[in-house]
Amino acid sequence: MSLIESALELEEIEINHYRSKTLWVPLGGRGVFGGQVVGQALMAAIKTTPKEFNIHSLHSYFILPGNNKMPILYEVERMRDGRSYCTRTVKAIQKGRCIFNLICSFAVAESSGLEHQDPMPECLGPDNFSSQEELMREFVKQEKVPRWYAKYLEKKLELENSPIEIRNTEILKKIWIKAKGKLSDEISLHKGAIAYASDFNLLYTAARPHGISPISKTRIGMMASLCHSIWFHDLNFRADEWLLYTMETPKAAYGRALASGRIYTQDGRLIASVSQEGVFRIDIDKKKSKL
């Protein structure tokens, strides 16, 4: 089983009821990684949907941080089963409280005769860039890096083994992503992997216009996802092959930031669009505590 399959794996405990098997909290995170919750909730919905239906859109809200010390229970409600479309809602529950809510729509594949897309932005291929793990190993060796931040990166490298490989490009709002390992041909798994990966780096895009970084004077006081949406445009792609994830942030105000992204195959096909709003607060005087 690949890392992403393990991260998305669910146990069926009753009709329409599923339970997580693994949960991951990023180092320094407030709760379970949001992309994993989105991905697991989507996989729960897929398990209740006929094979001829494919997920085309999902919309979700993060209500409370997830606790990785106990499983998450996913309750699926079959809202509608039509001939062309069907709809599911999913509640993620811990300690009797809903911590996350998802609504998603599935459709039978059809041809409309109409098709268009914005072209993929120009970008050097993934072979021209190092992975984030390689960059972190090089970064901790640099003398200009504050010791507290070097320790954080060392601990991150020691403890975390992400199921998604990420390669930053020269342009900070573009990254190459792919699931580690070889996945089966089941398209639902590849879409679940996209749901998982789509939460990486997206909201942090809002820090870029202000020159905020982990070692800048102005630091992020709080950053947390509030809602997350994905539109899947294609049935012919693989999450275990390189995909270009482009991100932008049209607005930040009133303690919130909006970010959007597009995901392309290497041959230029737009396969998914993503949008996310989150809490985004800065704390200029906050001092980093020891890890």
Does a structural domain hold residue 287? no
Give the angle subtended at the CA of 23 by the CAs of 50 and 65, to the nearest 5°.
100
Indicate which residue of 225, 229, 240, 273 is catalytic: 225
pLDDT average, residue stretch 117-123: 95
- If pLDDT is split at 50, 70 and 90, which confidence band does 149 have? confident
Indicate which residue of 199, 229, 240, 273 is catalytic: 199
HSE, side-chain direction, 13 A CA sphere, residue 82: 12
Which residue shows structure tokens 């409309």?
A: 112
Does a structural domain hold residue 144? yes
pLDDT above 60 (res 287): no
DSSP strand E in the chain: where? 10-14, 17-20, 53-62, 73-81, 85-94, 97-108, 164-168, 174-179, 220-232, 243-253, 256-265, 270-282
pTM of structure: 0.93
Give the angle subtended at the CA of 187 by the CAs of 115 and 61, to the nearest 5°.
85
CA proximity to 170, closest of 201, 130, 213, 140: 130
Say whether 289 is catalytic: no
Dist. CA 149–CA 290, nearest whole Å: 10
pLDDT average, residue stretch 79-98: 97
Question: How many domains does the chain fold into?
Answer: 1
Say whether 199 is catalytic: yes
CA proximity to 46, closest of 61, 31, 56, 36: 56
Does a structural domain hold residue 289? no
pLDDT above 60 (res 192): yes
Burial track 147-165 (b if 16+ CB lie within 10 A, e otherwise)? eebbebbeebeeeeebbbb
Structural domain of residue 161, as residue ranges? 3-109+119-282
Q: For the chain, first and last CA: distance in Å?
A: 32
pLDDT average, residue stretch 204-223: 84
Does a structural domain hold residue 290? no
User: 123-127: long-range contacts (C-beta < 8 A, 24 or more apart)?
Assistant: 123/169, 123/171, 123/174, 123/244, 124/169, 124/170, 125/176, 125/242, 125/266, 126/167, 126/176, 126/178, 126/242
pLDDT average, residue stretch 219-244: 94
Does a structural domain hold residue 254? yes
Dist. CA 233–CA 226, nearest whole Å: 24
Does a structural domain hold residue 54? yes
pLDDT above 70 (res 37): yes
Q: What CATH number is associated with residue 197?
A: 2.40.160.210
HSE, side-chain direction, 13 A CA sphere, residue 124: 10
Supply the mean pLDDT for the chain: 93
pLDDT above 70 (res 158): yes
HSE, side-chain direction, 13 A CA sphere, residue 37: 35
Task: State the CB neighbour count (10 A cutoff) for residue 97.
Answer: 10
Tens digits of residue pLDDT in 45-86: 999 999 999 999 999 999 999 999 999 999 999 999 999 999
